[in-house]
Structure 1
Amino acid sequence: MITKRRCRVGKHKLIWLVLVSLFTNSAWAEMQLNLTKGVTAVSRDVYDLHMLVLWICTAIGVIVFGAMFWSMAFHRKSKGAKAADFHESTKVEILWTAIPIVILIAMAVPATTTLIAMEDNTNSDVTIQITGSQWKWHYKYFDQDIEYYSVLSTPPEQYQNQQETTAIKGEHYLLEVDKPLVIPANKKVRFLITSDDVIHSWWVPAFAIKQDANPGFINEAWTRVDEPGIYRGQCAELCGKDHGFMPIVVEVKSAEDYDIWLNEQQQRIAQAASAEQASLTTAMSKAELMQLGKTTYTAYCSACHQPSGLGLPPAFPALKDSPITTTGTIQDHINIVFNGKTGTGMQAYGKQLSLKELAAVITYERNAWGNNTGDLVQASDVKSAVASSVEGKAQEATASLAIETAVEEAVEIITEEVPVEDLSKVYSHDELMTMGEKVYLKACVACHQPTGAGLPPAFPALKGSVIATGDITVHLDMVINGSKKNAAMTAFGSQLTKTEIAAVVTYERNAWGNNTGDLVQPAAVDAASAK
């Protein structure tokens, strides 16, 4: 008995301990259930709008459910309550129509104001193009000649969760990058958001920005951050295998620090250009190439082709014992790494890596995992291969242009040789019927059949048809402009000449026993077309 009582007391203490721990400040600090207020005027407006709608919905819920439960408690049948006996009340109907209208207006006005503010991209101080790629972000600063890729910097051993891995996850696990987007504080920054492969979504909660990045389209957004700081986000659109490894980090700097950063980037670009030029005359050893190649491969290639080089076929083919990396030519290998491969997940790394890094990673791929080709690729080899490829494409373009020019000239000659249609010519019944039958068999027979019986209801019969035996102007309009009621009847005004239309309409009005005796001349078709 004592044991059971102690057990109950122990359970009660445990329950109270859990409840207390749940509702302590530290527990709630770890779990945010509401929207963030953010750090911009727009994000605060969005938060205020959210709270306004939430409290309105809460008030409605309290009133509706309160009335319902009060009625159930105090007007139940067991207390002798009887339902009121009436069918309608004009006052009540007006009231329950007017109140929702007022509520909707109260929500619509601030919502519209906020939406208009969110879409106002005018008068920006800085414009940045954001391009989503599988699985990284590319930032390009307009008028600054600064662009770079931002890639996840969390070490792979932290997220691969392999049994032999004991790496401790960092503070910003999967929310850290090698190069954050840098913007100035208290300046209006305009974002032009797009993608070069699949749909991504650039989402930074603190800015109240979540804008899809669609290939072939540009969406716009903007922000003005009040205080310097570091703000994090993620790709919010499922975009493939490594969607979860595509974080966003934005570093907001003061105006002075931002100018310093711009100068540093310009210097970095100049230094990179000098280093690139120097690499063209420097031969790296195999050990140097393999070391740099492994680092580059791990950062840019291992997610798809795997650290073992076995890939994830068929989407990401193996590089180990691959024809590309073993028996294939170095030229082809360079070309596919530099330019990518259309229609596959293989991106173009020509703008992402330096010539030195490209040379190193190609050398690594041709000698790692037992490939052992012995090939060493230098930066100068990459430049020569790219230049050769560009020259080849230029020659192909020249040849293609020559072919197009020849075709255009031939078309012009043919066009010149085609006689101008004589719309004033009057054809006999036999001429129109002979020509009309040929046109009908070429353009109409598949749907309306050789017998004119058609294939109802999609393709109605012409034999005995109201169209083919009725008003000629209606018949002509149907053939020239098609049918608005039946999409299967296309317009032939641009497919047939006016003489051919005259002939086929004459044929349809006199074949299969229709025998209207009507003869339609090209001039009549021309007049009908002009209406």
Structure 2
Amino acid sequence: MQRRCLVKRRNLGWLLLGSLFSSTAWADMQLNMTKGVTDISQEVFGLHMLVMWICTAIGIVVFGAMFWSMIFHRKSKGVKPATFHESTKVEILWTAIPILILIGMAWPATKTLIAMENNDNSDITIQVTGSQWKWHYKYFDSDVEFYSVLTTPRDQFDNREGNYVTKGEHYLLEVDKPLVIPANKKVRFLITSDDVIHSWWVPDFAVKQDANPGFINEAWTKVNEPGIYRGQCAELCGKDHGYMPVVVEVKSEADYALWMEEQNQAIAAAKMAEQESLATNMSMEELMALGQETYTAYCAACHQPNGMGLPPAFPALKGSPMVTQDQAAHIDIVLNGKAGTSMAGFGKQLNLKQLAAVITYERNAWGNNTGDMVQPADVNALSATPQSAKLPEKSIDAESETKAVETVALVQEKTVDAAPANEPATMEELMAEGEKVYLAKCSACHQANGAGMPPAFPALKGSAMVTGDVAAHIEMVKNGKPGTAMMGFKGQLSARDMAAVITYERNAWGNDTGELVQASDIDAGKE
């Protein structure tokens, strides 16, 4: 009976050990890597398991030999130690065997790494920009761009008011707008940051890439099956680092086309609503209600619901000179942020009504009581105007406000075209206009000095494309280059603007080709 129990226990032990070391069991363990849903993630998982089994085998051999020697060659058994000092054969073996093992691991690892870095022939390019603490997605060759922000109420993840039961499985991985990509298409990501180092990580895609300010890192994925896949920022980026999730929704190609059409319609509707908002003035009650809602959603995490902030990183707004005095400066910092600080610009994230409302709220909440009412038209005038031509702090009366708006319009008109578009321009005119267009449309990628940020954004200074064939240069600016980050500008710039910026690129930074491109040259190449 005792022998039978011993056999049963031994069989059970072997069964457990076999299940532990089976690849299926390892793959299903929560402590192991995820297999992922892409071909490249499967390769990464296979490489991981291969290396793990090699390391396991090495461990068994090494520790097995060590324990065998300790047990069967111990002094109590009368074993005498060997007296040899050196052995050339042993030296060669323990040098050659590790080299062969390393080569055996390096060969598949190198193939996988090369595949992971191969961004060629991508179907879609998306720019991913991290900022504290949200993600901004911009689709190239499209006007679609949006921010993706955690939607879990702060009371839930701060465990306030006893909200323990209402948390879902993904309560820290839910966003208002997920990134949407099509299935069976190669999607290229250009990843950067507005402020500090972040890291865009989606385990199911085997994609984890740092987002560094001032640099562009690249990654790609091709997902075979539609679904929702989650990740998060994987680089400590500040106090709300844990509340910066990544959610990617993969749709079928047909559903993705419908989604893209919906986004374009929403953009058109938003532009129309923006124009309508410019013609209406909101009451103080409307501004304060919408402002409080916007402040709670976008500002309270840093500046606190009571406006006291978290100095020194997040200054108080209650009684702040910035908030209670210069209205133009207040609008500017909400629109554009402040370089070198944690204050990000909200000009692309909020609409004109929300911007006007939150600024009005900050100027009148917590006892600030300035009485100022900022309207959407005030925000629009400042967002579209150079710093030197911004509106004064307050519109004292209707006449002075009208004069200010006329001044703004005059400045904007002068910065568009210095000469009629249907007449040949001089080199001086084209260079002056081209520099303005370049700084507005191109310098973010190719840098103000033309040095670019290779490999994603190649240098224009000394570039064969820029100093060589004019027709190819015009074609590139007009229609872009599929599969790269270079988008076409024929839908954004006039023929005169394109002629000016091409002339500027061909003669700036020492390129000095001496060539002038006129608007008629652009029109001549129309399809």
Kindly indicate whether the alpha-carbon contact (under 8 Å) linking 1:43 and 1:206 is maintained by their aligned counterparts in 2: yes
Percent identical: 73
Alignment partner of 1:347 is 2:364 = no
Residue in structure 2 matched with residue 244 of structure 1 by the alignment: 242
- The match for 1:367 among 364, 368, 379 is 364
Residue in structure 1 matched with residue 70 of structure 2 by the alignment: 72
Kindly indicate whether the alpha-carbon contact (under 8 Å) linking 1:182 and 1:251 is maintained by their aligned counterparts in 2: yes
Residue in structure 2 matched with residue 260 of structure 1 by the alignment: 258
Once residues 290 and 96 of structure 2 are traced to their aligned partners in structure 1, the CA distance between those partners, rounded to angstroms, is 72
Alignment partner of 1:333 is 2:330 = yes
Counterpart amino acid of residue 301 in structure 1? C
TM-score, normalised on structure 2? Answer: 0.67
Alignment partner of 1:382 is 2:361 = no
Once residues 59 and 241 of structure 1 are traced to their aligned partners in structure 2, the CA distance between those partners, rounded to angstroms, is 43
Counterpart amino acid of residue 225 in structure 1? V
Q: CA deviation at 1:249?
A: 0.3
Residue in structure 2 matched with residue 442 of structure 1 by the alignment: none
Alpha-carbon deviations, 1:92-134, whole Å to 9, x = none? 2222222112111110110000000001000000000001111
Residue in structure 1 matched with residue 36 of structure 2 by the alignment: 38
Counterpart amino acid of residue 66 in structure 2? M
Alpha-carbon deviations, 1:285-341, whole Å to 9, x = none? 222222221221112111110111110011111111222222x13222111111212
Q: CA deviation at 1:142?
A: 0.4
What does 1:119-518 align with in structure 2 at a 5 Å threshold?
Answer: 119-162=117-160, 168-326=166-324, 328-392=325-389
Kindly indicate whether the alpha-carbon contact (under 8 Å) linking 1:335 and 1:389 is maintained by their aligned counterparts in 2: no
Kindly indicate whether the alpha-carbon contact (under 8 Å) linking 2:148 and 2:176 is maintained by their aligned counterparts in 1: yes
What does 1:23-102 align with in structure 2 at a 5 Å threshold?
Answer: 32-102=30-100
Alpha-carbon deviations, 1:410-445, whole Å to 9, x = none? xxxxxxxxxxxxxxxxxxxxxxxxxxxxxxxxxxxx
Kindly indicate whether the alpha-carbon contact (under 8 Å) linking 1:158 and 1:167 is maintained by their aligned counterparts in 2: no
Once residues 390 and 250 of structure 1 are traced to their aligned partners in structure 2, the CA distance between those partners, rounded to angstroms, is 38
Residue in structure 1 matched with residue 522 of structure 2 by the alignment: none
Q: CA RMSD in A?
A: 2.5
Once residues 312 and 130 of structure 1 are traced to their aligned partners in structure 2, the CA distance between those partners, rounded to angstroms, is 28
Q: CA deviation at 1:247?
A: 0.5
Q: CA deviation at 1:259?
A: 0.4
More relative contact order, 1 or 2 (CA 8 Å, 6+ apart): 2
Counterpart amino acid of residue 35 in structure 1? M
Once residues 58 and 266 of structure 2 are traced to their aligned partners in structure 1, the CA distance between those partners, rounded to angstroms, is 59
Change in CA separation of 1:79 and 1:166 when aligned onto 2, cut-off 3 Å: closer
SS at match of 1:366: helix
Q: CA deviation at 1:163?
A: 5.3
Q: CA deviation at 1:349?
A: 1.1
Residue in structure 2 matched with residue 409 of structure 1 by the alignment: none
Q: CA deviation at 1:282?
A: 1.8
Alpha-carbon deviations, 1:444-484, whole Å to 9, x = none? xxxxxxxxxxxxxxxxxxxxxxxxxxxxxxxxxxxxxxxxx
Residue in structure 1 matched with residue 500 of structure 2 by the alignment: none
SS at match of 1:317: coil
Counterpart amino acid of residue 119 in structure 1? E
Q: CA deviation at 1:194?
A: 0.6
Counterpart amino acid of residue 383 in structure 1? N
Counterpart amino acid of residue 181 in structure 1? L
Once residues 37 and 221 of structure 1 are traced to their aligned partners in structure 2, the CA distance between those partners, rounded to angstroms, is 18
Once residues 271 and 175 of structure 1 are traced to their aligned partners in structure 2, the CA distance between those partners, rounded to angstroms, is 29
Once residues 122 and 164 of structure 1 are traced to their aligned partners in structure 2, the CA distance between those partners, rounded to angstroms, is 51
SS at match of 1:183: strand
Q: Which segment drifts farther, 96-105 or 133-142?
A: 96-105
Once residues 173 and 29 of structure 1 are traced to their aligned partners in structure 2, the CA distance between those partners, rounded to angstroms, is 25
Kindly indicate whether the alpha-carbon contact (under 8 Å) linking 1:231 and 1:249 is maintained by their aligned counterparts in 2: yes
Q: CA deviation at 1:386?
A: 3.1
Once residues 165 and 318 of structure 1 are traced to their aligned partners in structure 2, the CA distance between those partners, rounded to angstroms, is 28
Once residues 309 and 203 of structure 1 are traced to their aligned partners in structure 2, the CA distance between those partners, rounded to angstroms, is 33
Q: CA deviation at 1:374?
A: 2.5
Alpha-carbon deviations, 1:20-65, whole Å to 9, x = none? xxx9xxx999971000010111111111111111000000000110
Kindly indicate whether the alpha-carbon contact (under 8 Å) linking 2:308 and 2:315 is maintained by their aligned counterparts in 1: yes
Kindly indicate whether the alpha-carbon contact (under 8 Å) linking 2:26 and 2:32 is maintained by their aligned counterparts in 1: no
TM-score, normalised on structure 1? Answer: 0.67
Kindly indicate whether the alpha-carbon contact (under 8 Å) linking 1:200 and 1:236 is maintained by their aligned counterparts in 2: yes
Counterpart amino acid of residue 296 in structure 1? T
Change in CA separation of 1:29 and 1:210 when aligned onto 2, cut-off 3 Å: closer
SS at match of 2:322: coil
Aligned length: 373
Once residues 133 and 356 of structure 2 are traced to their aligned partners in structure 1, the CA distance between those partners, rounded to angstroms, is 22
Counterpart amino acid of residue 241 in structure 1? K
Change in CA separation of 1:125 and 1:293 when aligned onto 2, cut-off 3 Å: same
Once residues 367 and 161 of structure 1 are traced to their aligned partners in structure 2, the CA distance between those partners, rounded to angstroms, is 30
Residue in structure 1 matched with residue 425 of structure 2 by the alignment: none
SS at match of 1:324: helix
Kindly indicate whether the alpha-carbon contact (under 8 Å) linking 1:157 and 1:167 is maintained by their aligned counterparts in 2: no
Alpha-carbon deviations, 1:150-195, whole Å to 9, x = none? 1111111111223565662222121111101001101000000011
Kindly indicate whether the alpha-carbon contact (under 8 Å) linking 1:131 and 1:194 is maintained by their aligned counterparts in 2: yes
Once residues 246 and 322 of structure 1 are traced to their aligned partners in structure 2, the CA distance between those partners, rounded to angstroms, is 29
Once residues 127 and 293 of structure 1 are traced to their aligned partners in structure 2, the CA distance between those partners, rounded to angstroms, is 35
Once residues 184 and 198 of structure 1 are traced to their aligned partners in structure 2, the CA distance between those partners, rounded to angstroms, is 30
Counterpart amino acid of residue 213 in structure 1? A
SS at match of 1:325: helix
Once residues 57 and 28 of structure 1 are traced to their aligned partners in structure 2, the CA distance between those partners, rounded to angstroms, is 15
Residue in structure 1 matched with residue 108 of structure 2 by the alignment: 110
Alpha-carbon deviations, 1:257-281, whole Å to 9, x = none? 1001100000010011011111111
Counterpart amino acid of residue 203 in structure 1? W
Kindly indicate whether the alpha-carbon contact (under 8 Å) linking 2:27 and 2:33 is maintained by their aligned counterparts in 1: no
Counterpart amino acid of residue 95 in structure 2? T
Once residues 60 and 179 of structure 2 are traced to their aligned partners in structure 1, the CA distance between those partners, rounded to angstroms, is 45
Task: Flag the structure with larger Rg.
Answer: 1
